[in-house]
Amino acid sequence: MAEKHLIVLDLDGTLLKDDKTISSKTKKVLNKAKELGHEVMIATGRPYRSSEMYYNELKLTSPIVNFNGAFVHHPKDNSFGIRHTPLDMSVAKDIVESCNSFDFHNIIAEVIDDVYIHYHDEKLLQIFNYGNPTITTGDLRKFLNASPTSLLIHTEEEQLKIIRQHLADVHAEVIEQRSWGDPFPIIEIVKHGLSKAVGLKEVSQYYGIPRDRIIAFGDEDNDLEMIDYAGYGIAMGNAIDELKNIAKEVTYTNEEDGIGHYLNDLLNLKAI
């Protein structure tokens, strides 16, 4: 067999098409890569409960990185252990407190698969209900009783920069923050020092696969560290410019089987 590679897949905008499905062509390529002994894993900002269906669909047997590195575990092997690196409880409550000085719609705290929502909101309940988590609604300063894996602030575009600036001024040493616009403007906060690359390093050590044989695919700013770390850091055709600038190469978009085409050529899989 050719040398073993670790193939790392972001989900939204990368492995998943815009309709949130995996194309049959890319799936065929990934199956062929696994047959030949390469390892395939997922690294996503999503919680495990909303990535498990894709893990199962690809019949993976690898660890998975969730919450952008704040939660890493192996669904098929308990001996791998669980790496959970939540935000400090006092930091989380400080952030909730300071948000009251700004305009925001809601704050969501996730503790692995438990969800805490500051204000009742039907639209959010539909989105976060995926995978049937335990949902608690009410003032997070009172109801949040465990250190959160991640904190999400739902706000308006014009408030986003103001709140992010405040977070940078006050909490820069203890948090990592990112923002995303789909399905609405959100600021996502995890513990300082975390990224998908942190989880990826652990998994590559577990498999004994060096950096130069890691092939990682991504499209957004939460993929920057991972794409930078991987020997083959590949940006999707639909990726943000910042990611394309640091990537080793740019492949086709998530709608055009970018992952499938790239792996088929690089690893000479002859699958498509």
pLDDT for position 4: 96
Q: Kindly report the average pLDDT of the chain as a whole number.
A: 95
Residue 139 has pLDDT above 60, yes or no: yes
CA 209 remoteness from chain centre: 21
In this structure, which amino acid lies at residue 3?
Answer: E
- Asked whether the CA dihedral 223, 43, 194, 99 is positive or negative, the reply is positive
Residue 73, Cβ neighbours under 10 Å: how many?
19
- Going by C-alpha positions, the residue among 148, 162, 89 that lies closest to residue 117 is 148
pLDDT band at 125 (very low <50, low <70, confident <90, very high): confident
pLDDT for position 1: 55
Distance CA 52, CA 58 (A): 10
Q: What is the model's pTM? A: 0.95
Distance CA 174, CA 188 (A): 14
Q: In the predicted model, what is the mean pLDDT of residues 102-123? A: 94
Q: In the predicted model, what is the mean pLDDT of residues 171-177? A: 95
Q: Are strands 71-73 and 64-66 parallel, antiparallel or unpaired?
A: antiparallel
pLDDT for position 228: 98
Domain 89-191 has CATH 3.40.190.10: no
Per residue in 43-58, pLDDT tens?
Answer: 999 999 999 999 999 9
pLDDT for position 232: 98
- Going by C-alpha positions, the residue among 1, 6, 10 that lies closest to residue 235 is 10
Determine whether 10 is an active site residue: yes
Residue 132 has pLDDT above 90, yes or no: no
What SS3 state is found at 55?
helix
Domain boundaries in the chain? 6-83+194-266, 89-191
pLDDT for position 179: 86
pLDDT band at 11 (very low <50, low <70, confident <90, very high): very high
Per residue in 207-264, pLDDT tens?
Answer: 999 999 999 999 999 999 999 999 999 999 999 999 999 999 999 999 999 999 999 9
Active-site residue among 10, 12, 219, 257? 10
Per residue in 62-102, pLDDT tens?
Answer: 999 999 999 999 999 999 999 999 999 999 999 999 999 99
Domain range 6-83+194-266, CATH class: alpha beta
List the Cα angle 87/99/109 in 5-degree steps.
Answer: 40
Residue 107, Cβ neighbours under 10 Å: how many?
23
CA 82 remoteness from chain centre: 17
More confident residue, 200 or 182: 200
pLDDT for position 260: 98
